[in-house]
């Protein structure tokens, strides 16, 4: 239809090089909400059957128009930003989704800041979250590159709010200074104590809000002494730090030190709790898990056990590390970046010696165990618009919460199985609704049920277990 010249009824012109594209109103209206509104209005473009675009190269417009007609488009790292900007501005939702899927698997240190800024400007929440996850995963490498300096203040604010940064607090402070100097056009080689008055004031203003995200309580005595000498910290904070420094130097005043910290209920006096997960980088998700598990001391008890990327894809190793540990949280991340897992209050158990575990008939020793507090959960699922959700054990199905002594598989939740990892831990399957409650609004026999977590066949990227 695109080449049927006699039926063209609308022209789009690229102002940059005056290239003209003959199109059909019916196609434009059916594929873009922007064009539908435009062509149903009485605006000048509708009356003249012509639209002039100032902000898009003809090569990009040609690709997008071809997509509107055929549903096919070639996306590359060279054109992805412009395609995303155009499809977002002109409300081509299907293309936005395709571009987002393309970018999910192409994060690099060189492009992550551009993708982050773009996703924020277009309100693409999933892509924004994935950008931050990549930064946290590559943080030590990322901050050594000039791309770190391209971050904006709101990005650094989000990063410093995270509990799982793999840097010492003093090093984070130095990174803020480095970033602040760059934004203030101050020579990085110039020592902080030798800055001109105007330069120092400029730098202080640049970093003033970020300073409140630094956990000064984690500084050593020498580090605290050094940064106070540099006189870059807002007076309100520096006065409190001087008081804390005096108490820090007096070993007999531990009680006064604790009282001082209690009274100054500020984040700068709260140690940064280091989360050991590479799957969940945001503390709020762990807070949600703590709420679901109903354990106020969750963060302090939590100890990491198995990691697929560290230990390898062997279910025997998984059982050696994870059996007989009591309360256990299993986190799973797929190659499509879906995140889910399960929790048991009784843990996984092995009553057989290792030699028996490896025998051919060990499956005969397997049995289900009761756990009324067990649940499956989803953090990020195949239905992108759904919030994190807890799926408790069904009433009357408590006795089939977990499969014990099945050494040819990884963890198995439910008799269906509702969630199971295979012998190599790097794959699995899901059949929700047998022992555990279904997600709200999902029919047990529907396609959505089979694909809610990550599809009926699960391709695993990482598995982590935590003992509580």
pLDDT given for residue 285 in this prediction = 84
**Average pLDDT by consecutive 10-residue portion of the chain (468 residues)?**
66 88 90 86 74 86 91 87 85 87 87 91 87 89 96 95 82 95 92 88 92 89 88 86 79 74 78 78 80 77 87 87 92 90 87 42 62 91 75 89 73 87 88 86 71 79 93
pLDDT given for residue 243 in this prediction = 83
Rounded to 5°, angle at Cα 172 from 167 and 175:
120
Is residue 232 within 8 Å of residue 222, measured between CB atoms? Answer: no
Judge residue 184's burial from the number of C-beta atoms within 10 Å of its C-beta, 0-12 exposed, 13-18 middle, 19 or more buried: middle
196: helix, coil or strand? coil
- Taking the C-alpha atoms of residue 310 and residue 291, their distance in angstroms, rounded to an integer, is 28
Stretch (H or E) spanning 42: none
Number of other residues whose CB lies within 10 A of the CB of residue 140: 11
| Nearest in space to 370 (alpha carbons), one of 388, 346, 392 | 346
φ/ψ (deg, to 5) at 13: -120, 130
What's the start-to-end Cα distance of the chain, in Å?
62
pLDDT given for residue 292 in this prediction = 94
- Taking the C-alpha atoms of residue 283 and residue 4, their distance in angstroms, rounded to an integer, is 56
Q: DSSP letter string over 360-422?
A: TTGGGG-EEE--TT-EEEEEE-SSTTPPPEEEEBPTT-GGGSEEES-TTSS-EETTTTSEEE-
Is residue 314 within 8 Å of residue 357, measured between CB atoms? Answer: no
| Greatest extent of the chain over all pairs of C-alpha atoms, in Å | 92
- Give the pairing of strands 457-467 and 427-430: antiparallel
pLDDT given for residue 364 in this prediction = 46
Sequence-distant (≥ 6) Cβ neighbours of residue 37 within 8 angstroms: none
Stretch (H or E) spanning 241: helix 235-249
Contacts 24+ apart (CB under 8 A), 222-226: 223/170, 224/248
């Amino acid at each position: 239809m695109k080449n049927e010249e006699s039926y063209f009824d609308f022209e789009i012109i690229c102002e940059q090089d005056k290239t003209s594209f003959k199109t059909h109103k019916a196609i434009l209206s059916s594929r873009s909400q922007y064009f539908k509104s435009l062509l149903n209005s009485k605006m000048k473009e509708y009356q003249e059957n012509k639209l002039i675009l100032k902000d898009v190269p003809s090569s990009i417009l040609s690709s997008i128009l071809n997509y509107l007609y055929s549903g096919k488009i070639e996306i590359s790292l060279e054109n992805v930003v412009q395609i995303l900007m155009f499809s977002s501005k002109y409300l081509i939702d299907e293309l936005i989704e395709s571009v987002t899927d393309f970018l999910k698997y192409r994060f690099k240190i060189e492009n992550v800041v551009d993708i982050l800024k773009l996703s924020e400007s277009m309100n693409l929440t999933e892509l924004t979250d994935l950008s931050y996850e990549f930064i946290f995963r590559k943080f030590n490498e990322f901050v050594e590159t000039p791309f770190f300096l391209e971050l904006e203040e709101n990005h650094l604010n989000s990063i410093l709010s995270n509990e799982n940064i793999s840097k010492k607090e003093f090093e984070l402070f130095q990174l803020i200074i480095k970033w602040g100097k760059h934004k203030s056009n101050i020579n990085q080689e110039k020592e902080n104590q030798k800055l001109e008055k105007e330069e120092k004031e400029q730098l202080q203003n640049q970093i003033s809000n970020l300073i409140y995200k630094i956990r000064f309580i984690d500084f050593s005595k020498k580090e605290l002494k050094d940064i106070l000498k540099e006189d870059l910290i807002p007076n309100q904070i520096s006065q409190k730090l001087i008081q804390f420094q005096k108490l820090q130097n007096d070993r007999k005043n531990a009680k006064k030190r604790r009282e001082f910290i209690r009274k100054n209920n500020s984040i700068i006096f709260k140690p940064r709790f280091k989360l050991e997960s590479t799957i969940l980088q945001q503390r709020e998700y762990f807070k949600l898990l703590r709420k679901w598990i109903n354990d106020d001391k969750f963060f302090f008890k939590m100890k990491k056990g198995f990691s697929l990327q560290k230990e390898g894809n062997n279910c025997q190793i998984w059982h050696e590390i994870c059996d007989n540990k009591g309360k256990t949280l299993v986190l799973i991340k797929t190659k499509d970046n879906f995140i889910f897992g399960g929790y048991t209050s009784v843990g996984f158990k092995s009553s057989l010696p290792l030699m028996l575990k490896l025998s051919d008939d060990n499956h005969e020793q397997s049995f289900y165990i009761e756990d009324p507090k067990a649940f499956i959960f989803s953090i990020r699922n195949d239905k992108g618009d759904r919030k994190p959700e807890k799926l408790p054990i069904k009433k009357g199905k408590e006795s089939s919460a977990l499969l014990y002594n099945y050494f040819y598989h990884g963890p198995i939740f439910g008799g269906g199985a509702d969630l199971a990892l295979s012998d190599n831990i790097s794959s699995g399957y899901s059949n929700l609704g047998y022992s555990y409650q279904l997600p709200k609004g999902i029919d047990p026999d529907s396609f959505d049920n089979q694909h809610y977590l990550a599809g009926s066949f699960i391709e695993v990227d990482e598995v982590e277990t935590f003992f509580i």
